[in-house]
Amino acid sequence: MNPDSYLIHHYSHYDEDQRLASRHGSVEFLTTMRYIEKYLKPGDRILEIGAGTGRYSHALARRGYEVQAVELVEHNIDIFRKHTLPGEPVTVTQGNALDLSDFPDDAYDITLLLGPLYHLYEPAHKRQAIREAIRVTRPGGILFAAYVISDGCLLDEGFHRGNIDVAEYVKTGLLDGRTFAASSQPKDLFELVRKEDIDQLMDVFPVTRLHYVASDGCALFMREAVDRMDGETFQLYLDYHFATCERPDLAGVTSHALDIFRK
Ligand SMILES: C[S@@+](CC[C@H](N)C(=O)[O-])C[C@H]1O[C@@H](n2cnc3c(N)ncnc32)[C@H](O)[C@@H]1O
């Protein structure tokens, strides 16, 4: 079976568009946008690899930036195109993060890789996607790579919500029963990593890390509380999250992490 078929099936039947729309889901979006905006300069060219339905691409294009997007799954591309406003400076093409040969070297000021690394299981494939993202970025340009973090997911989806059967995962070898490190395959849909895995992956690349961010922190774990907050309390929660999301002692307990580095 083609390893991509699992994720194509998943995204063809999943409301990816709504994922970041809830209040708890918006924490990841607001955090990522906050860091992108920190580095954006007028006239910057942006490439989004694995753009999904285009939440980031559209948000950035509507601020006047020229955005090119690449996405693997046709279903997401159809929704992306439906959301594109007349005259919006954004284009989307079907493609794979592992092979961006249609895109030139050193072309983009900002490159977003927010999703493909969730679905690549071999270190060689993850490195290939990162290598391609670095190749198309201009020297001095900034890259944003997102990951799904195993401990945040295990606590939230496993022990807290019971959506993941932790005992079963240990029995089938998906989780190591001693260290609780995960080892997924394409049929499991998501590749769960720890910061130490990301550090090891990035070791070979001559880039400079600028930030390592717990992009949603505990927002998914405590989603009911976050969704119940009134506007003022949610703003205070965001202030807390933004103040603490780079703290190394909190970085592992997040569902998603963002590695931000300069070429
Ligand atoms: C979780 S979604 C994230 C979408 C968007 N970047 C965001 O953060 O909202 C992951 C996206 O990456 C896409 N994707 C996964 N593997 C890919 C690959 N090898 N090449 C291109 N896109 C890929 C999926 O189809 C999906 O749309």
Give residue limits of the domains in the chain: 3-150+185-262
Is residue 113 within 6 Å of ligand 1 at its C-beta?
Answer: no
Whole-model pTM: value is 0.95
Task: Report the alpha-carbon angle 239-240-246, nearest 5.
Answer: 105
Taking the centre of ligand 1 as the mean of its atom positions, its distance from the CA of residue 58, in whole angstroms, is: 15
Of ligand 1's atoms, which has the minimum distance to the CA of residue 54?
5
pLDDT at 17: 66
Average pLDDT across the chain, whole number: 94
Question: Average pLDDT of 208-220?
Answer: 97
Q: Looking at residues 32-36, what average pLDDT do you find? A: 98
- Ligand 1, residue 98: give the atom nearest the CA: 19
Mean pLDDT, range 178-194, rounded to an integer: 87
CB of 7 sitting under 6 A from ligand 1: yes
pLDDT digits (tens, 9 = 90+) for 151-169: 999 999 999 999 989 999 9
> Which CATH fold topology does 3-150+185-262 show?
Rossmann fold (3.40.50)
pLDDT of 30 above 90 = yes
Q: Is the pLDDT of residue 221 over 90?
A: yes
Q: What percent of the chain has pLDDT over 90?
A: 87
